[in-house]
Every structure is written in structure tokens, then in C-alpha cells.
């Protein structure tokens, strides 16, 4: 799934030049405007045995996320907070350029960027997920699987993660005689905000929102900016190229505007705030 493979196999020199020629005229290969996302579809409660789940289709990229709630020890230095862990995998059937085996550095980066957006936004009030301070806390696992990879897995995976968390139900647990006991009741996840990531790439002088795999193969640089209801909360610059200060400012404003649009859609679908 490496970018070098995508660049050499998917986007040969002539195809990239065609992109540059079209972008010079204000057009993209698939006809979208520079700041236009692909169609976004979100379906929740798709894994019945999970505490919460969601399937997201962003164009042809497709991701499914499942939330599993367990108990465990808190992280060192965070004894008064529950734990949240986001993991990701790209299935070998998701793309002809994905090889079976341990996750490569790009898949590791995918999980970290999505995790950072959720964590830095403080989407989940982890202080409410403590059973015995310093000893027993709720641990929230969010496992994401990429079913089809056609670019911008960062946003597709992030949206699936956020939607799954928003619809998750936590089992009400109690400590009885030193043991964790399930009461059989559930409560909603203690959510405080809705983080939305917007990924953009630079190809030449053009900044494109929601790149396809073909556009990622031709990119010079990538940036993922996450906003919450309160404002900016996370940023990740990827790939080898750079952005000018003005390009970053423009990308930030685009992320804010597009983030509001996606946030409204996810809130509506998940009934958040109602």
C-alpha cells in the first residue's frame, strides 16, 4: 500500500501531466471542484455484537468501525481516566497494492492520525469512565477495517470511528466484592464534541480536498486538519513535500467550512444532541 507503489503503478508520468493540465484550467480528473468531497454515505449499527459500529463510504473508499468496551488498568499517569485505543487495518482485498502481513508504516500512521483527532478533541469524557481510580477503568477499543481503498482513508476511517463512538452504548458495570459485575444496563458514550477531519493534498500549486487514490499517487504533500465543535484540535502533515504559510491558512479555512458540513451530517445520522 506504499505511496511509491501507487505512484509508479497507478499514476504514471503521462497521467500526472494530464492532471496538472486539467488543474491549470480549474478542473479535476473526476470533474469535482478543488474543494469538493466525494459522496459520503454513513450507516450505523452494522455490527450487532459490537457496542457501537458504523460503515462509511467516501466515494469508492469504504471503512467499517466497531467499538468494544472492556475493563482494564488505566494508562500510567492517567489514573483518573478511562482508556481509548483506535486501531486500523487495510484488508488485502481492499486494493491490489495491499500485501498481507503486519501493518506497514502508512497503516500505522492512519490509526495514529484518527486516534489523535478523537483524543485531542476530547470527544469522549474519559474521566467518566473510571470504576476504581488508579485500578479499574473502562477501556474503549475502536477497531477499523478498510474494505475498499480508493484514496483519503484518513477521513473515511475518522468518520467511521466518530459515528461508531456516537452510537455506542456502554455497559453499566459495578464493583462488587472486588469484582467487576455487569448490571445488564447500558448508557450512552459520554461524548462532549464531534471531531471531523478534512484531508487535502497539494499537486503542483493546487490544493485538493478528499483526494482519490490516483490523486494521492501524484501528490506533492498532504495535510489532515481536524476541527471539533469548539475549533481546531489536531493537524498532521504527511508525505515529503511542503506547504506555504498561505496554503496552510487556506487549507485550515477549508477544513473549518467542510468540517461543519460533515459534522452536521454525522450528527443528523447518529441523532447526536437530540
**Res. 8: pLDDT tops 60:** no
pTM of the model: 0.93
Q: What percent of the chain has pLDDT over 90?
A: 78
β-strand pairing of 136-148 with 40-44: unpaired
pLDDT for 37-72, tens place per residue?
999 999 999 999 999 999 999 999 999 999 999 999
Where do the H-state alpha helices sit in the chain? 3-9, 13-23, 105-120, 153-166, 213-218, 245-270
Q: pLDDT band at residue 5, thresholds of 50, 70 and 90?
A: low
Place of cell 484518527: 114
Q: Does position 266 have pLDDT exceeding 90, yes or no?
A: yes
Give the DSSP letter of residue 239: S
Contacts of residue 236, Cβ cutoff 8 Å, sequence gap at least 6: 113, 116, 154, 223, 224
pLDDT at 96: 83
Half-sphere exposure of 77 (CA within 13 A, CB side): 0
Residue 205 has pLDDT above 70, yes or no: yes
Which pLDDT score is estimated for 116?
Answer: 97
How far apart CA 43 and CA 41 sit, in angstroms, is: 7
Q: Are 140 and 48 in contact (CB under 8 A)?
A: no
Would the pLDDT of 11 be above 70?
Answer: no
What pLDDT, in 10s, does the model give residues 229-251? Answer: 999 999 999 988 999 999 999 99
**Model pLDDT, residue 10:** 52
Burial class (CB in 10 A: 0-12, 13-18, 19+), 97: middle
The predicted structure's pLDDT at residue 178? 82
Cell triple for residue 131? 470504576
Over range 192-214, report the average pLDDT. 96
- In whole angstroms, what is the distance from residue 17 CA to residue 19 CA? 5
pLDDT tens readout for residues 78-111:
899 999 999 999 999 998 878 787 888 999 999 9
pLDDT at position 251, please? 97
| Helix 153-166 × helix 105-120 angle, to 10° | 40
Q: Is the dihedral of CA 263, 269, 273, 274 positive or negative?
A: positive
Tell me whether residue 13 is exposed, middle or buried, using C-beta atoms within 10 angstroms of its C-beta: 0 to 12, 13 to 18, 19 or more: exposed
75: pLDDT strictly greater than 70: yes
Tell me how crowded residue 93 is: count the other CB atoms within 10 A of its CB: 12
Question: Which tens digits make up the pLDDT trace of 111-155?
Answer: 999 999 999 999 999 999 999 999 999 999 999 999 999 999 999
Query: Between these two residues, 31 and 12, which has the higher pLDDT value?
Result: 31
pLDDT, residue 104, reads: 87
Ordered by where they begin, the domains of the chain are 16-270 (3.30.230.70)
* pLDDT of 12: 59
Q: What is the DSSP letter of 124?
A: B
Cα separation, 144 vs 128, in Å, equals 24
> Per-residue pLDDT for 7 more than 60?
no
Amino acid at each position: 500500500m506504499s505511496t511509491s507503489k501507487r505512484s509508479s503503478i497507478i499514476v504514471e508520468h503521462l497521467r500526472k501531466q494530464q492532471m496538472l493540465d486539467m488543474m491549470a484550467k480549474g478542473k479535476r480528473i473526476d470533474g469535482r471542484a478543488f474543494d469538493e468531497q466525494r459522496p459520503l454515505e454513513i450507516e450505523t449499527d452494522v455490527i450487532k455484537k459490537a457496542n457501537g459500529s458504523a460503515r462509511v463510504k467516501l466515494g469508492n473508499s469504504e471503512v467499517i468501525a466497531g467499538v468494544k468496551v472492556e475493563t482494564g488498568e488505566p494508562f500510567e499517569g492517567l489514573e483518573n481516566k478511562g482508556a481509548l485505543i483506535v486501531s486500523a487495518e487495510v484488508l488485502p482485498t481492499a486494493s491490489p497494492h495491499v500485501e498481507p502481513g503486519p501493518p506497514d508504516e502508512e497503516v500505522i500512521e492512519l490509526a495514529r492520525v484518527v486516534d489523535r483527532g478523537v483524543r485531542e478533541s476530547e470527544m469522549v469524557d474519559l474521566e467518566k469512565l473510571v470504576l476504581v481510580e488508579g485500578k479499574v477503568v473502562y477501556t474503549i477499543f475502536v477497531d477499523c477495517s478498510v474494505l475498499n481503498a480508493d484514496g483519503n482513508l484518513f477521513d473515511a476511517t475518522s468518520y467511521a470511528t466518530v459515528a461508531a463512538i456516537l452510537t455506542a452504548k456502554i455497559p453499566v458495570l459495578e464493583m462488587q466484592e472486588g469484582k467487576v459485575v455487569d448490571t445488564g444496563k447500558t448508557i450512552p458514550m459520554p461524548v462532549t464534541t464531534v471531531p471531523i477531519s478534512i484531508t487535502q493534498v497539494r499537486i503542483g500549486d493546487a490544493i485538493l480536498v478528499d483526494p482519490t487514490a490516483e490523486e494521492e499517487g501524484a501528490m506533492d504533500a498532504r495535510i489532515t486538519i481536524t476541527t471539533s465543535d469548539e475549533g481546531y484540535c489536531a493537524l498532521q502533515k504527511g508525505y515529503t513535500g511542503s506547504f506555504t504559510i498561505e496554503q496552510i491558512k487556506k487549507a485550515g479555512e477549508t477544513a473549518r467550512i467542510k468540517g461543519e458540513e460533515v459534522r452536521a451530517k454525522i450528527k443528523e445520522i447518529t441523532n447526536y444532541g437530540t
